[in-house]
Chain A
Amino acid sequence: MSNPRIVTRREALTRGMGMVGVGAALPNFLLKTSLAGPETSPDHKIVVALALIGGHDGLSTVVPYGHKEYYDLRKVTRIEEKDVLKLNEEVGLHPNLAGFKNLHDEGKLLTVLGTAFPNYNLSHFTSRDFWESATAKDTTGKEGSTGWLGRYVDYACKGIDDPKLAVAVGPGRHPLIITGKDHPGIAFNTPDTFSFRGEGSPAGKAVYRELNELSKNCPRNGDDLFITQTAINANAASETIRELVSGYSTNVEYPDTQFGNSLKTIAGLIGRGLSARVYYAAQGIAVFGGYDTHVDQPRRHGQLMDELCQSVCAFQKDLAAQGNADRVLTFTFSEFGRRAKENFSGGTDHGLAQPMFVIGSGLKGGVHGKQSSLTDLDDDNLKMTTDFRCVYAAILEKWLGVPAEPILGEKFSLLDCVA
C-alpha cells in the first residue's frame, strides 16, 4: 500500500495540484496548513464554556430553600434559609455567589433548573463526555469524537483554516467540547509555556518548521495526521497568542488561581481581537477532587463557589470595560449533580439533575426550568426537568444564529432564555 500523500495548501497553490490519495475522507484541518492569521471580525459572537469539574452539588449552589424536604435531606450539607441569596420564592443562590445575585438582578444571569440528560450515567467520565459531546451515542474516548461547540465552529467557519477558532485555557487534557472535526482547537496552560524553545539558531528553527510541515507527506494513519496538524497549528498559533496576551493589560483584579488566571487570559484574547469563536476553561482541576465532594462538602464547595463567583464577575467586568460584554455568552456545566440525600461523610454521592448558569447581556435573565422534585426521586436521584440540549439549542439558534439541528443531531425545543 502506498502512503497517502497530503498536499499542503501552499503546494496546491504553487504547483497547481489537486488533492490526491485519502484526502477526500479526511477532516479539513488535516488537509490544510494554517497560514491564516487572526480572522478578526469585531462583531462575531463568542461562547465561553466553564466546566465545574467533579460533579457539583446543585442543591448547595441553587438552594430550593422553599421546599422543606430540602432540610430533611440535608443535615450537614444544608444552606440555612437565612443565608440563601433568594432568586424567587422557591430557590436562591449559595451565600458565596453574591456577585451572581447582582448579575441576576441586572438581568444578566440565567439560572436553569433541573438540567440533565435522559440516558444518564453516574460515571464522571462518561457523563462529562455526554455534556461535552451533546450526542446521545456514548462516544467516550472514541477517536474522532467531537464536542458541540467544535461542531458549531466547523459549521459556522467552514473553509476557514484558522487553528485559533476554538481555544481552551488551563491545565489538563484537550477538552472534547471545543473539538471539531475540521477545527480541533488550541489548548494551552499559560501563554508563556506555549512556544518552541528547543533550537536557538534561525537556520535550525527554519529546518524545524520545515520538518514539521513535511511530516504531512507520509502519514500512516489518523494519529500521525493528528499529531502533525496539532504541531503545525501550535507553531502557527504560538506567536499570535503570546503576542496578544503579553500586549493586554487590565485594571480588573482576578483571583490569583488557576481558574482566575485562565479567565483573565481569555479576556485578554477577546480584548485583543483573537479570532476564536468559542473558549473553554475548567474550575476544580487544580483543586483536590474539585466538586467531587463525597466528604467535607460545605467547606470545599463553599471555597469553589467563592472562586467561581469572583472569577466570573471579574471576567464580566473586564469584558464590559473592553466593550465586549455584549458579544460574549458564558455558561457553566458539570458532569452531573449530586445525590438528593447527603451521605454520612459530610458529603454527597454522584447524582443527576443540576442547575446551569448562563451569563451575559441579551439574555432573558431569571430562573428558568422547573426545580426537580425532592420527594419524587429516580433511584434516590433528582429527576431531569430540562434536557440540557434545549439550552444548547437556544444558544446556537438565538445567540449564535445557526440552526441547532445539524450540530446537535436532533431537534430540540429551545429554552426561551435568549432575547
Chain B
Amino acid sequence: MKRRVSMWLGIAGAVALWAVGGLRADEPTPLQTAEEAAKKAVASEEVMQNEWNSREMARSATREIARVERSRSESAVADYRRAIEGVTAAEAAAKAARAAADGEPDAAKKTPLVETANQADAAVAAAKANLEQRLAAMHAALDRLIEDSVAGERAANELLVSENGLRDKMAESRAVELKVLEMKAASADAASVDAAKRAIFEMQAVQLWERQLWAGVQQGTLGQIIEMTDHAGRIAADAATIEPDAARKKTLEEFAQRETKGKTDAEKTNGECAAIVAKAISEIYPLRAAAMGGLTPLAPEKWDLAKARHLLVRAGFGGTPQEVKNLHAMGLYAAVDHLVDFHRQAPAPASLDVIPVPLPDPLEGKLRNAFVRGQAAGARNSIDGGQFGALRQWWIKRMVASPRPLQEKLTLFWHGHFATQQSVVQNTYILYHQNQLFREHAAGNFGGLLYGIVHDPVMIRYLDNNLNVVGHPNENLAREIMELFAMGVDQGYTEHDIREAARALTGYTYDNATGQFRYVLKSHDPGDKTIFGKTGPWTGDDLVNLLLEQPSTARFISFKLYEYFVKKDPAPEVVDKMATVLRTNQYELNPMLKNLFLSEEFYSDAAMGTQIKSPVQLVVGMLRDLGAKEATNFGQIDGMIQEMGQQLFEPPDVKGWRYGRSWISSNRVFSRYNAAATLANSVPLASGASGVDLVGLLATEECKTAEDVIQCLAKVCLAKPLNDEQRAKLVAYLGQLPPQAEWAGQKDAINAKLRNVLVLLLCTPEYQVT
C-alpha cells in the first residue's frame, strides 16, 4: 500500500514538473516517452518469446531422445543382469554334470555322462560369450544415456533460464506499461479517473497473473527435469552395482550423484515456483476485484468457521459441522470458487420426466354429450395436475441433496425474480422448461436470462403476451419487464417507453400444442418505435439489448442479488460497485457473485446471522444442517413450505416473494415451529430410520456434558449464540446423559432425548434467522 502511495506521489510530482518546466514543443512529453518505452518493451518481449519457442523445441527433442535412451539402458542393464545369472546357472550345471561323470565307476554308464558334462561346459562358454556381448551392449547404452541425459537436462535448464528471463522481461514491460497508465490516471479528469485507476489495477492483476502462469509453466519444465534425473540416476546407480570395470563403475556412480543433485535442485526450484503461484493467487483476488471496480475482498486471515458456515448457508442452504469444516479447510478463495464454479461438482441426484399434456383425441370433439366430453378432457388434463406435485417435490429434493447448492439457490432467486404462477399458466411442461432455463443460466449471463424470458412460453402466457398483437397491444409484459425484471420501478423509463416496448413485443407468442416459443411475423408491429429515446423497428430481441444498455438494469439486478444473499437496503455505492463488475463482465454473473461472496460486506456483522429464513431456507437448511439429506417425504415437506407461505411455482404475484419480515406473521410463526418439530422428530430417511440422527451428527464433536451438547446443537442450528438463561433452561431440560462413547449402543433412546431439546431449539425466534 505504502509503495503505491509513494508511486502516486512520484507521478504527480513528475506531471507537476512537466507542467511547470515548460518543455519545448518538439520535445516529447513524459507520457510520450513512457509510451515509446512501453512499445519498445513489448517488442523486445516478442524477441525473447521467439527465443523461448526455439529452446522449447530443443528441449522437447532432447527430452524424447533421453527418454528413449533411458528405456534402452534399462533393458540393457536387465539383459546384462540376466546374462550374469545365465553364466552362474550354466557353471553350476556344468560343475554338477562333471562331478556326476567323474563319480561314475561303470564305464558304460560313464560315457553318456561325460558327453553331458562336455555339453554343459560348452553351454558355459556360450553363456560367457553372451555375457561379453551384453556387457558391451550395456556399456554402449549407458554411454549414450549419460551423454543424452546431460544434453536433455542442459536443454531443460536452458529453457528454465529462458523462462526466467522471459518472465522478468514481461514483468518489466508490464511495469513500463503500468507507468503509462499511472501517468494517464494522474492527469485524468473526474469523469474518467475511476476507469483509469481500474486500468492500473487491471495491469497489476495481469502482471501477477502472468507471473503465476510462467511459474506454472516452469513447474512443468521442472517436473520433467525431476522425472529425467530421477530415472537416469536410478538406472546408473543400479548399473554401477553390476559393472565389473572399476573406472566405469566410478563414472556411473558420479553420474548417479550428479543426477540426484540435479533432482534435488529442481525440486527446490519447483517449491519456489509453487510458492509464487500460491502468492500470486492470493494477491490476485483483491486486484481482480479492484480492476473490475468491485467490492473489497475479506482479508484471508479473517476466514474462520463461523464465516465458512455463513457462506455455506447463504451461497447454499447449509451443512453439517463436518461440511462446514471441510469448506473452511479450503481457505476463503478456494471455498468461494468451489461454491460458485458449481459446474465442477456432480449434478443433483434427481431426475424427472415431464411430458406435455396430450392434444385432444380427434374423436373428443365429436363426443356429443358435454359431460362425457368433459370426462375425456379431464383424463387428459389430469396428466398435468399429477406432474405438478412431482415437479415441486423434484425441485425441493434437488435443493436438499444437490452437490451444487448455489445453482439451486440461484434458480430459486430467478424464479422469484421472473415470477410466474402455475395457477395462471396451468402447464407443468412449460414450467419445467422455464425452471431448467433458470438453472442453466443460474450463474451464467443475465442477458441470456432476459433473452430467455422474452421467449419463455410461461412468461408469455402469464403476462398475456400471446394476446399482444399489432394494432392491439397488450402492455402487461412490457411493463413488468421494465418495472420488475430489468430496471426497477420508476428507474429511467416512462409510460411511453412501456407502450412502445409493448409494440416491440408484438408477435412473441407460443404454440399451445407444442409448448414452444413462436414468433408470428404477421402479428408483429414492424413500425418504428422509440424506446429510451432510440428509434427503430425494434423487436423483442432488440428490446433485450436496449434494456441491457440501461445503467439502471445492472444496478437493479445487483441490488436484488445483494438483498437476496446479503441483507436488506444495501448502500448505493455497494450496489454501484456490483453493477460495475456486472457491466465490466458483459452481465456475466459468475465474477460478480464471486466478488460478492469474497467481500467484506458479505461477512460484516450487519450481514451475518441477520437474514430471516424463507420457508424453503428454513426447511432445506434444517435438513442439510442436521444431515438429513436422504429424506424421502418430499410431498409432506412441500406441504409444510406451502403452509409457511411459499409454494414453489406459485409466488404471490408477478413481483415474486417479498422475503424478510413478510415471512413472519403470528400465524406463520406456528407453521414454522410446527414443521420444524415434525421433521426433527419423524423425517423418514432412505435408510429406513425416521427422525434426525443427532447421535451420528454429534459424533464428530466432543460432548462431555449436557452443557456441551446444548452448545454443539446451538452451533449446528443457530447463527447467533443463545443467551445464558436460554442455555441454562435447555441444559436443565436435557438432564443427564451417559458418556458419549456409550451413545451408539443406545442410539434410539439418546436420539429421542436429544430431539426433545432440538425441537425446543428450533422453535425459537433465534432459529428463524440465519
Contact = CB atoms under 8 A, between A and B. Distances in A.
Interface of A: 121-126, 140-141, 143, 163, 171-174, 186-189, 193-199, 203-204, 207-208, 210-212, 214-215, 217-218, 220-221, 223-224, 226-228, 230-231, 233-234, 237-238, 285, 288-289, 294-295, 343-345, 349-350, 379
Contacts of A223: 610, 612, 660-661, 769
B733 A173 contact: no
A397 to B, nearest CB: 30
Listed residue (A141, A163, A204, A211) with the most chain B CB atoms within 10 angstroms of its CB:
A211
B471 to A, nearest CB: 8
A215 B765 contact: yes
Contacts of B479: 122, 350
B763 A196 contact: yes
A288 B759 contact: no
Interface size class of B (residues with CB under 8 A): 35 or more
Contacts of B421: 288
Contacts of A237: 666
B424 A288 contact: yes
Contacts of A186: 665-667
22 contacts: A123-B483, A123-B489, A126-B489, A172-B652, A173-B652, A187-B666, A193-B643, A193-B667, A193-B670, A196-B674, A198-B759, A207-B729, A211-B726, A214-B725, A215-B765, A218-B723, A226-B661, A230-B669, A234-B666, A288-B421, A345-B464, A345-B467
A224 B765 contact: yes
A194 B489 contact: no
A222 B674 CA distance: 24
A203 B667 contact: no
Contact of A231 (B472, B568, B658, B669): B669
Contacts of A350: 479
A410 B474 CA distance: 38
B662 A211 contact: no
A207 B723 CA distance: 14
A128 to B, nearest CB: 10
Contact of A288 (B423, B490, B677): B423
Contacts of A220: 609-610, 720
B121 interface: no
Contacts of A126: 489
Interface string B418-459: 000101100000000000000000000000000000000000
B664 A227 contact: yes
Contacts of B676: 198
A189 to B, nearest CB: 6
B467 to A, nearest CB: 4
B689 to A, nearest CB: 20
B475 A349 contact: yes
Contacts, number: 163
A188 B668 CA distance: 8
B644 to A, nearest CB: 11
Nearest to B495: A379
Contacts of A197: 670, 674, 677
B662 A173 contact: yes
Contacts of B762: 198
Nearest to B653: A124
Contacts of B765: 212, 215, 224, 227-228, 231
B516 interface: no
Given A198-B763, A234-B669, A344 B652 contact: no
B88 interface: no
A198 B661 contact: no
A230 B726 contact: no
Listed residue (A126, A173, A195) with the most chain B CB atoms within 10 angstroms of its CB:
A173
A199 B424 CA distance: 39
B713 to A, nearest CB: 13
Contacts of B666: 163, 186-188, 194, 230, 233-234, 237-238
A345 B463 CA distance: 12
A207 B733 contact: yes
B395 interface: no
Contacts of B483: 123
Listed residue (B423, B479, B723) with the most chain A CB atoms within 10 angstroms of its CB:
B723
Contact of B665 (A124, A174, A224, A379): A174
Interface in B634-660: 643, 645, 652-655, 658, 660
Interface string B460-480: 000010010100101110010
A195 B673 CA distance: 10
B111 interface: no
Interface string B743-770: 0000000000000100110111110110
B44 interface: no
A230 B610 contact: no
Given A173-B652, A204-B756, A289 B764 contact: no
B142 interface: no
Please provide the 5 A-B residue pairs with the shortest distance between their CB atoms, ordered closest to farther: A198-B677, A344-B472, A188-B667, A234-B666, A174-B665
A225 to B, nearest CB: 9
A58 to B, nearest CB: 19
B678 interface: yes
Contacts of B472: 343-345
Contacts of B662: 173-174
A406 B568 CA distance: 29
B655 A125 contact: yes
A361 to B, nearest CB: 31
A153 to B, nearest CB: 15
Interface string B475-511: 1100100010000011000010000000000000000
B729 A295 contact: no
B607 to A, nearest CB: 11
B671 interface: yes
Listed residue (A172, A198, A214, A289) with the most chain B CB atoms within 10 angstroms of its CB:
A198
Given A143-B661, A174-B661, A198-B763, 12 more contacts: A173-B662, A188-B666, A196-B673, A198-B676, A211-B729, A211-B764, A214-B726, A228-B765, A294-B467, A294-B474, A343-B472, A349-B474
B544 interface: no
Contacts of A188: 665-667
A393 B164 CA distance: 82
B760 A207 contact: yes
Interface string B612-649: 10000000000000000000000000000001010000
A141 B421 CA distance: 21
Nearest to B480: A123
A295 B495 contact: no
A212 B761 CA distance: 10
A344 B645 CA distance: 35
B730 interface: yes
A194 B733 CA distance: 26
B763 A189 contact: no
Nearest to B721: A218
Contacts of B469: 344
A208 B674 CA distance: 12
A126 to B, nearest CB: 6
A143 B658 CA distance: 12
A137 to B, nearest CB: 14
A210 B727 CA distance: 11
B467 A207 contact: no
Interface string B708-750: 0000000000001001011001100100000000000000000
Contact of B759 (A199, A215, A226, A228): A199
Contacts of B670: 193-197, 234, 238
A215 B769 contact: no
A326 to B, nearest CB: 29
A189 B423 CA distance: 20
Contacts of B763: 196, 198-199, 208, 211-212
A160 to B, nearest CB: 17
Contact of A198 (B464, B660, B674): B674
B474 A345 contact: yes
A349 B476 contact: yes
B401 to A, nearest CB: 25
A195 B677 CA distance: 13
